[in-house]
């Protein structure tokens, strides 16, 4: 399937797969602005409340045929909550939906990274998309390649259907960038925010239908200054 993308216009023929993309609920590390990457922090109490809130929201919409999730605990628990409340029998876990590996910065507070790991911090803040982060970290191009490939593998299995993906801030930003390469992302990807991308079954072209919606969090609230997976949340 082609992976070319566009954010405007519809398709002349063929249907779309509706991909609902949810960021995981809040963790204590989000609240402390600790860089998580591939480290496996669990949801905190607020995160669990957020997961229930987004699950109830999604349960009132068209039922998904499948739920896919990063295998990291914070995403997995969010996905399992959605599956339970939406009455979807199981969740498919895929490491390709994980957050960006942030190398030597993982487990550090963002405010300390610049002084304690200056080389890794400089790489993390770099605008070069092929810049890997010391300590085994991924470049943005590597992150994009794995998560976009995963998106199209899922779409290939569910043409014309509705699926839910539960992932992470940096990864969701790369999916958005692929779907809308000429329109910068202006919204924040808060914990349990909902984004929707329509993917043409015929051509693989994408249309962004919704981005970063948190209307379901009016009671639970959202952490405005949480670290969200990439340099834009610093």
- Write out the catalytic residue numbers: 24, 99
Q: Annotated binding residue at 23?
A: yes
Please count the other Cβ atoms lying within 10 Å of the Cβ belonging to residue 84. Answer: 15
Token pair 């998904």 is found at 64
126 assigned ligand-binding residue:
no
As a whole number of angstroms, the distance between CA 111 and CA 223 comes to 17
Supply φ then ψ for residue 107, to 5 degrees: 90, -5
On whether 29 is known to bind a ligand per the annotation, the reply is yes
Dihedral (CA of 141, 146, 149, 154) sign: negative
Does the annotation flag 27 for ligand binding?
Answer: yes
Q: Is 14 part of any known ligand binding site?
A: no
Q: Strand runs (DSSP E) across 87-222, as ranges?
A: 91-93, 162-167, 194-200, 206-213
Tell whether 74 is in a known binding site.
yes
Has 193 been labeled as part of a binding site? no
* Cα 56–chain centre separation: 19
Tell me whether residue 137 is annotated as binding.
no
Are the C-beta atoms of residues 222 and 190 closer than 8 Å to each other? yes
Tell me the C-alpha to C-alpha distance, in Å, between residue 58 and each of 51, 53, 151, 164: 11, 9, 20, 9
Contact 30, 79 (CB under 8 A): no
Cα gap 75→34, rounded to integer Å: 17
- Name the pairing type of β-strands 66-69 and 194-200: unpaired
If phi > 0 it is left, if psi is from -120 to 50 it is alpha, else beta; for residue 229 that is left
Residue 4 annotated as part of some ligand binding site = no
Residues placed in the known binding site for substrate: 23-30, 74
Residues placed in the known binding site: 23-30, 74
């Amino acid at each position: 399937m082609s992976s070319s993308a566009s954010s405007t216009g519809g398709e002349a023929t063929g249907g779309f797969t509706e991909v609902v993309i949810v960021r995981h609920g809040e963790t204590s590390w989000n609240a402390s602005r600790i860089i998580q990457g591939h480290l496996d922090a669990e949801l905190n109490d607020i995160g669990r409340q957020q997961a229930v809130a987004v699950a109830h929201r999604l349960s009132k919409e068209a039922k998904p045929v499948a739920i896919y999730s990063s295998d990291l605990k914070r995403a997995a628990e969010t996905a399992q909550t959605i599956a339970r409340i939406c009455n979807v029998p199981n969740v498919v876990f895929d490491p390709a939906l994980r957050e960006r590996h942030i190398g030597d910065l993982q487990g550090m507070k963002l405010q300390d990274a610049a002084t304690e790991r200056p080389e890794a911090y400089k790489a993390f803040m770099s605008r070069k998309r092929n810049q890997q982060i010391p300590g085994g970290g991924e470049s943005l191009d590597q992150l994009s390649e794995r998560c976009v490939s995963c998106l199209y593998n899922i779409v290939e299995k569910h043409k014309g259907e509705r699926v839910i993906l539960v992932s992470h801030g940096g990864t969701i930003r790369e999916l958005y960038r692929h779907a809308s390469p000429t329109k910068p992302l202006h919204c924040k990807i808060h914990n349990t925010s909902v984004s929707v991308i329509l993917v043409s079954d015929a051509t693989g072209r994408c249309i962004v239908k919704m981005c970063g919606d948190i209307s379901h969090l009016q009671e639970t609230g959202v952490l405005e200054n949480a670290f969200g997976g990439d340099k834009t949340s610093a």
